[in-house]
Every structure is written in structure tokens, then in C-alpha cells.
Amino acid sequence: MRRSFRRGASAVEFALTLPFVIALVAITVEWGWVLSQQAWVHAAARDACRFTVELDPRNTDINAQAALSAQEWLTTYDFNCGGGDCSIATETKRVGGREALTVAVVVEYRPIFGLIPVPERLRGESTHLLRYQPIAAIE
């Protein structure tokens, strides 16, 4: 009889601790997924920017090519941007007297479990100097 009490006590302890263990695993998985998705969004912006700055701006629309490249990188990283879940903004601007390209990517995040507060949108941004700089007019 004493042995059955031990088994019963073990079963009760297991039943009491199981929800906490499951919640801890779910929270760990959710945060790991958020962090990996954030890293992929930033990598898509960075890789699109690094690819596009190597193009000659005299022959290519840099902003359009950067947006297309960011879209391709997001697809490579398994983001579904077809339903309007992704936003890509590109801008060329002067930084320190030279032309630079900025690529900003925003992706809506959908939680796996929804047990913890997570950001609604993941953002990534990258800025690089253009390789081929326009020649300044000689006065």
C-alpha cells in the first residue's frame, strides 16, 4: 500500500509541474522564433542593400532594384509578402558628401503561441555607400 502512495504522489507532482514546464518551453520557443525572424528581416535589408550598392546608378534605378532585391531576400528567408505583410522602403541620400542607399524592411509578425507579448512588426534597416559615385560638376 505504501508503494501506491508514492506512485500517486509522483503522479500529482507531475500533474502540478507539467503546465509550468510546458509554458516555459512555449515561451522559450516563442522568443527564439521572434529573435530568429528579426535577424532574418535585418539580413534581408542588409543583403539587398549590399547587392544594390554595387550597381552603376547611371544604368540602373537603384531604389527600384533595391526594393526588388529586398523582396527576393524576404522570399529566400521564407517570408510571405504577397498578402501585404511586408513593407519595403528605399532611399538614396547624401551622407558625408557621398551618395548612400538605405533599405528599410518591415514585416508583420504573427506569434506562434501568443503566451507572451511580442512585437507586431519586425524592422530591419541598412545603409551603405554607393560604389559608383556621381562625378561632381567642375566649376
The predicted structure's pLDDT at residue 4: 65
The predicted structure's pLDDT at residue 100: 93
d(CA 39, CA 126): 12
Higher per-residue confidence, 122 vs 133: 122
Higher per-residue confidence, 92 vs 81: 92
Domain boundaries, the chain: 2-129
The separation between CA 45 and the C-alpha centre of its own chain, rounded to angstroms, equals: 9
Q: Provide mean pLDDT across the span 80-108.
A: 90
SS3 124: strand
SS3 32: helix
pLDDT above 90 coverage of the chain, percent: 63
The predicted structure's pLDDT at residue 138: 41
The predicted structure's pLDDT at residue 115: 84
Q: Tell whether the model's pLDDT for residue 6 goes beyond 80.
A: no
Cell numbers at 67, concatenated: 526594393
In tens, the pLDDT along 16-27 reads 999 999 999 999
Q: Tell whether the model's pLDDT for residue 8 goes beyond 90.
A: no
86 φ, ψ to 5°? -120, 145
CB 38 within 8 A of CB 124: yes
Q: Provide mean pLDDT across the span 94-99.
A: 86
d(CA 130, CA 79): 27
In tens, the pLDDT along 28-69 reads 999 999 999 999 999 999 999 999 999 988 888 999 999 999
